[in-house]
Amino acid sequence: MMDHAQTLDRTDSLGGLDVDPNDIEPRDRYKLICGLVVPRPIALVTTVSEDGVVNAAPFSFFNVFSEAPPVAVLGLNSNPDGTTKDTTRNIRASGEYVIHLVSDELAEAMNICAVNFPADMSEIDMAGFTLKPSRTVTPPTIVEAPVALETRLMQIIPLSPTRNVVLGEIVRFKARPEIVDPEKLYVDIEKYRPLSRLFGNLYGRLGEVFELKRQTYDDWRETGKASRITKPKL
């Protein structure tokens, strides 16, 4: 009798997943990438079209990769019908955008910004967001967002006809007063309450926060032990 591990060519000898991405459908690759690389932060991106229309949309293929220069990266796909997303078109044309980070109480409003409204309906109005001018770029800032990163396009790297990676330099960091102490630059993580994307329609709130001190080799030689998890003073 064949054991379970041998019945599928996507399993290892213990029955765990072990698969070449080229052997599964793109849809299943998406499922694995989104389901396994979690939690992801959400970039709620404002852009302006050549006609001056303000657009907002959320993206969780998003992270930061450098502080010198300060670089944020977005993974922008085409729409399911193959057309280019407004965000991609606007960033390509204007080279400017604002990436807002989202706290958990903004989850429902953020999700409204992913609705494919007809051109005459503004997702920003539907979501109930308020806009204010940004400091250094033309696309406006969403007042309700805890954090806004004003960003200038560095490079669009096409990965395929329907997938682009967008590298941008953050030219201004902005945060609501309760989130960052402007002198010491401490972030109050409990007030921030960042929302994360899991997969499908699942999201996560920040769970328990703990502290784990980074060790040097000297620390290690002295104690011979790993740092212990402790409760932080927040």
Ligand X SMILES: Cc1cc2nc3c(=O)[nH]c(=O)nc-3n(C[C@H](O)[C@H](O)[C@H](O)COP(=O)(O)O)c2cc1C
Count the Cβ atoms, other than its own, within 10 Å of residue 59: 21
When asked if residue 76 is in the footprint of ligand X (CB under 6 A), the reply is: yes
Binding segment toward ligand X, per CB under 6 A, in 3-11, 71-79, 92-100, 143-151: 71-79
The nearer residue to ligand X, 45 or 175, going by C-beta atoms, is: 45
Name, in order, each residue with C-beta under 8 angstroms of 9's C-beta and a sequence gap of 6 or more.
Answer: 19, 23
The nearer residue to ligand X, 86 or 150, going by C-beta atoms, is: 86
How far apart are the C-alpha atoms of 114 and 83, rounded to whole Å? 15
Residue of the chain from 29, 64, 71, 75 that contacts ligand X (CB under 6 A) = 75
Per-residue interface string for the shown chain with ligand X, residues 39-68, x marking contact by CB under 6 A:
---x------------x-xxxxx-------
When asked if residue 77 is in the footprint of ligand X (CB under 6 A), the reply is: yes
Per-residue interface string for the shown chain with ligand X, residues 168-207, x marking contact by CB under 6 A:
-----------------------------x----------
# chain residues binding ligand X, by CB under 6 A = 17
The nearer residue to ligand X, 39 or 58, going by C-beta atoms, is: 58
Name, in order, each residue with C-beta under 8 angstroms of 178's C-beta and a sequence gap of 6 or more.
Answer: 188, 191
The nearer residue to ligand X, 11 or 78, going by C-beta atoms, is: 78
When asked if residue 86 is in the footprint of ligand X (CB under 6 A), the reply is: yes
Binding segment toward ligand X, per CB under 6 A, in 18-26, 73-81, 186-194, 222-230: 73-81
When asked if residue 98 is in the footprint of ligand X (CB under 6 A), the reply is: no
Q: How far is the CB of 76 from ligand X (least distance, A)?
A: 5
The nearer residue to ligand X, 180 or 199, going by C-beta atoms, is: 199
Q: What residues make contact with ligand X under the rule CB under 6 A?
A: 42, 55, 57-61, 75-77, 85-87, 111, 114, 116, 197
